[in-house]
Amino acid sequence: MSTERIEVQRTIKADPASIFSVLRDPQGHVAIDGSGMLMDADGDVVNSVGDSFVVHMDREALGDIPLGEYDVTVTIETFVPDREIAWTILGTIRPQIGHVYGYRIEPVDGGSLVTSYYDWSNIDPKWREAGIFPVIAEGSLKATLGILARTVHRGYPH
């Protein structure tokens, strides 16, 4: 694994379609967030590359940069129903950073193997020079997968 990408995996006792339904829903992103930054979202369930929605963020959860509350636009970059979804984020910072978050889902015996990834290999040179990556720790990605497992198990949405 490169130093510009984090991947974590977890087997979740659910079919790929149930997991994907959470991941394509803006409110699903808020429901499973392990970083504590996602507060709410506005927008429709995504259906294809290029679809977008707004997430209301609060950087206080990380306590690293005093951004406070702000909004980001999530734009879908990869959309393969029930198999993979990935997106970039455009917030208040310019130039756009260019990091990508995503999930791959593979059916396995007893459920689905879910891989969460965070890739900053193609970020704008300004942000590479700033040396601030990774912004989200591997532990946050692992926590999100745990919350995803719990959310799907309990029946999303409810």
Question: Who has greater pLDDT, 146 or 124?
Answer: 146
Tens digits of per-residue pLDDT, 6-45? Answer: 999 999 999 999 999 999 999 999 999 998 889 999 999 9
Q: Distance (Å, rounded) from C-alpha 95 to C-alpha 76? A: 19
Q: Which range has highest mean pLDDT (90-104, 123-137, 142-156)?
A: 142-156
Sheet of 111-119, strand order: 5-12, 111-119, 100-108, 84-90, 69-80, 52-58, 38-42
Q: Which secondary structure element, helix H or strand E, spans residue 84, and what is its range?
A: strand 84-90
Tell whether the model's pLDDT for residue 133 goes beyond 60. yes
Query: Residue 2: which pLDDT band, with cuts at 50, 70 and 90?
Result: low
Count of other CB atoms within 10 angstroms of residue 139? 12
- Please tell me the predicted confidence (pLDDT) of residue 158: 57
pLDDT cut 70: percent of the chain above it? 95
